[in-house]
A = this chain, B = another copy of it.
Amino acid sequence: MTLSNDLLLKAAKGISTDRTPIWLMRQAGRILPEYRKVREKAKDFKVMVKTPELAAEVTIQPVDILQVDAAIIFSDILVIPEAMGLDYLMEENKGPVFPKRIETASDLNSVHVAATEELDYVYQAIQLTRRGLNGRVPLIGFAGAPWTIFAYMTEGKGSKTFSHAKKMLYLQPELSHRLLNMITDSTINYLRGQIKAGADIIQIFDSWAGVLSPDQYSEFSLRYIKRICDAIQDVPKIVFPKGAFFARAEMERLDCQVVGLDWNMGIQESRSLMPSKVLQGNLDPCALYGTLANVKAEAHKLIDGFGTGGHIANLGHGLYPDTEVDKVKCFINEVKEYSASKQKVKS
């Protein structure tokens, strides 16, 4: 299918575009009243994730309402542990909880490498979304980085420190590598399924990259992200290593086109550490709490900082649920107009 707006794919491939493309992490989510309505109807978050019609509906909402340049399939990174045999609950305002977590070698025997077909409901949602989008914008598929998935499976829930997860890395490194390998194989199967179903580009979220030391990050995270990047060759790849500022030089050597920055990471420093990468990001999500005038100023600062090429505009983290829709629309619109006007002056 030919896309009528292929700005994101062009930018990801390093092709010059008339303006900077933009999408936002968590764009399909609680900030939209339309999303909250579907969520209410579905009662449970996981029902939404597992019902392709509902997942497709909320995936398309921000394309219509916010006019972003891409859709990202509505799902959760924790579908992988679930497909591997480790169930989780999503508690409102509390985040995910695993009734059982992986602590020992025998716990490891209770999980398996997820086969591609075990996540069929996601591929169905992708197919439905593609039909609904009808070529308007590209569709982003995604998965968690193996370390981030490992962190949830061993910690059993969200955490500021992930000290249980890290304890396993320090005390049982071999067991850790076995589990990380199983997650990696599952993730490769899963991303291949998403691409076959119609994902145009994929993003790997390493949400808990920042809790590891540089040495541990190389050993327990980056090597598995590398394995995924090497295995997936059909579509462009975005890697978002939240908090891993120290790994940027190593990121440059990954086989991916785009690296996402969080709002702590300086633009110029990141450009010089990763000269071959397109950069994505990196507005502080809290900047959208400002007045409309401030939000516009932040959009200008962002575009001035990244320049008009080699950049995909986004936040440095997911949208916070209490962000006002008007501010989000203002930011998106200003990024589009301001980058277009700068690009015009340049050419």
A residues with a Cβ closer than 8 A to B are 160-161, 163, 166-167, 169-171, 210, 212-214, 216, 243, 245-246, 263-266, 284-287, 289-291, 294, 317, 320, 322
Contacts and interface: CB of A to CB of B under 8 A. Distances in A.
Contacts of A284: 166, 213, 216
Contact of A245 (B167, B264, B322): B264
17 contacts: A161-B317, A161-B320, A163-B286, A163-B289, A163-B322, A166-B284, A166-B286, A169-B286, A170-B286, A170-B289, A171-B290, A171-B291, A214-B264, A216-B284, A245-B246, A245-B264, A246-B265
A320 B166 CA distance: 12
A167 B212 CA distance: 28
A98 to B, nearest CB: 19
List the number of copies, as a whole number. Answer: 2
Contacts of A167: 286, 289
A266 B246 contact: yes
Contacts of A266: 214, 246
In the A-B complex, the 8 residue pairs with the smallest Cβ-Cβ separation, listed nearest first, are A166-B286, A167-B289, A170-B290, A213-B263, A170-B289, A213-B284, A163-B320, A163-B286
Contacts of A317: 161
Given A246-B245, A320-B161, A320-B163, A264 B213 contact: yes
A195 B263 CA distance: 37
Q: Which of A264, A287, A291 has the most chain B CB atoms closer than 10 A to its own CB?
A: A264
A299 to B, nearest CB: 14
A212 B287 CA distance: 11
